[in-house]
């Protein structure tokens, strides 16, 4: 059986959907199932059992012989939350317990890290283990992810196979419940749908024109493909970037939306709020050679294709 934590969330539920589409049915869903806002994400999914997050470690003791792999995607992901204790509990200490159980019972582990660990990108966006101790995340969420990465690399005992994945800007179906933390694609779609126009931040950096700030946007369907690849490979443990390796501008993104929605472009530029202006990232782009060097050869979807596909889900309220 395959265990997916955070299974009712955006990425976790898409992972379960992808597994179902590839004939995996013996799946254990782990999450806080008292949160009803995400229930649509697991409707019509095939799975063996749902386990409450707080009961997970007791369940492992009783079922460890049947577990083939743990895909640990559950986390507190709110970058506007500044209560460090919440991140220490849910992102750091909980993941340490998952790691320890994987060692104890001989279970391979794939876990979600984040590109938020890179901060302002002072050291670039290279998944070289040597720079991880130097990274300076911009918020407690990024710190919690980086603190676990540092801890994992310092351990003498590890799961026999493990991979930490630094997710870049992920977008796609099943993210409707995330509120402010949903992708810019989701928010821009809703703006355009309601007003037939979209607002983007002006550039306050002379090296970039308005709307030409760049991010590495990765479609959820690419992300789960990579996890599936690593799930089957189970070699070359370590921390890997998971973006496309090709940054796109916000202008590119919203133009792709207008095109997919068959609407005339109407982009307005507004001032970046002063309170976030000094921490605003103008460029992120994953270096992806480490993943390709271990054999991942599938081409990542370009932003126009990804957004066109996503719009089909949004307009019909479909879920993966």
Per-residue pLDDT tens listing for the chain (320 residues): 999 999 999 999 999 999 999 999 999 999 999 988 899 999 999 999 999 999 999 999 999 999 999 999 999 888 888 899 999 999 999 999 999 999 999 999 999 999 999 999 999 999 999 999 999 999 999 999 999 999 999 999 999 999 999 999 999 999 999 999 999 999 999 999 999 999 999 999 999 999 999 999 999 999 999 999 999 999 999 999 999 999 999 999 999 999 999 999 999 999 998 888 888 899 999 999 999 999 999 999 999 999 999 999 999 988 99
Please tell me the predicted confidence (pLDDT) of residue 279: 82
Residues 238 and 259 in one domain: no
Let me know whether 160 and 306 are in one domain.
no
User: Does 158 share its domain with 53?
Assistant: yes
pLDDT value, residue 194:
97
CATH code where residue 68 lies = 3.40.50.720
**Are 39 and 141 within one domain?**
yes
Do 80 and 99 sit in the same domain of this protein?
yes
Q: Is 296 among the residues known to form the active site?
A: no
Do 120 and 257 share a structural domain?
no
Predicted pLDDT of residue 2: 98
DSSP string, the chain: -EEEETTTSHHHHHHHHHHHHTT---EEEEE-TT-GGGGGGGTT---SEEEEGGGHHHHHHHHGGG--EEEE------TT---HHHHIIIIIIHHHHHHHHHHHHT--EEEEEEGGGGTT-TT-S---GGGGGG---SSHHHHHHHHHHHHHHH-SS--SSEEEEEE-EEE-TT-GGGGGGS-HHHHHHHHHHHHS-EEEEPP-STTS-TT--EE-EEEHHHHHHHHHHHHHH--S-EEEEES-S--EEHHHHHHHHHHHTT----EEEEPPPHHHHTT--SB-----HHHHHTT--PPPPPHHHHHHHHHHHHHHT---
Same structural domain, 57 and 123: yes
Q: What is the pTM of this model?
A: 0.96
Q: Give residue 31's pLDDT.
A: 97
Give the span between the Cα atoms of 169 and 214, in whole angstroms. 11
Same-domain pairing of 94 and 84: yes
DSSP-assigned letters across all residues of 16-57: HHHHHHTT---EEEEE-TT-GGGGGGGTT---SEEEEGGGHH
For position 313, which CATH number holds?
A: 3.90.25.10
Of 96, 178, 259, 287, the catalytic one is: 178
What pLDDT is stored for residue 135 in this prediction?
98
**Are 130 and 184 contained in the same domain?**
no
- Supply the range of the domain harboring residue 278: 171-216+245-288+295-320
Same domain, 316 and 211: yes
Query: Is the same domain home to 82 and 114?
Result: yes
The question of whether 141 is a catalytic residue gets the answer yes
Q: How many domains does the chain have?
A: 2
Considering the candidates 141, 161, 171, 176, report the single residue annotated as catalytic: 141
Q: Extract the tokens encoding 270.
A: 């507004």
Based on the fold, state whether residues 116 and 100 are members of the same structural domain.
yes
Cα distances from 42 to residues 32, 46, 48, 171, in angstroms, run 13, 9, 12, 18
């Amino acid at each position: 059986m395959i265990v997916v934590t955070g299974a009712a969330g955006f990425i976790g539920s898409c992972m379960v959907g992808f597994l179902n589409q590839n004939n995996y049915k013996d799946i254990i869903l782990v999450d806080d199932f008292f949160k009803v806002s995400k229930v649509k994400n697991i409707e019509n999914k095939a799975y063996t059992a749902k386990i409450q997050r707080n009961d997970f470690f007791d369940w492992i003791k009783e079922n460890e012989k049947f577990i083939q792999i743990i895909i640990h995607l559950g986390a507190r992901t709110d970058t506007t939350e500044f209560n460090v204790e919440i991140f220490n509990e849910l992102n750091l200490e909980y993941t340490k317990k998952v790691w320890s159980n994987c060692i104890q019972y001989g279970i391979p582990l794939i876990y979600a890290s984040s590109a938020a660990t890179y901060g302002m990108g002072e050291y670039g966006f290279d998944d070289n283990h040597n720079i991880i101790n130097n990274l300076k995340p911009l918020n407690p969420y990024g710190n919690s992810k980086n603190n676990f990465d540092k801890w994992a690399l310092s351990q003498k005992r590890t799961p026999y196979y493990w991979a930490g994945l630094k997710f870049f800007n992920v977008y796609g179906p099943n993210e409707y419940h995330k509120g402010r933390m949903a992708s810019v694609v989701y928010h821009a779609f809703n703006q355009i749908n309601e007003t037939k126009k979209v607002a983007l931040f002006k550039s306050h950096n002379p090296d970039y024109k308005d709307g030409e700030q760049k991010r590495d946007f990765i479609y959820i369907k690419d992300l789960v493909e990579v996890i599936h690849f690593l799930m089957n490979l189970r070699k070359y443990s370590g921390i890997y970037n998971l973006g496309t390796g090709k940054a796109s501008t916000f202008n590119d993104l919203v133009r792709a939306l207008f095109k997919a929605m068959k609407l005339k472009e109407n982009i307005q530029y507004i001032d970046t709020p002063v309170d976030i202006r000094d921490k605003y990232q103008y460029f992120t782009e994953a270096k992806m050679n480490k993943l390709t060097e271990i054999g991942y050869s599938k081409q990542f979807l370009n932003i126009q294709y990804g957004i066109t596909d996503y719009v089909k889900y949004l307009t019909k309220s479909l879920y993966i």
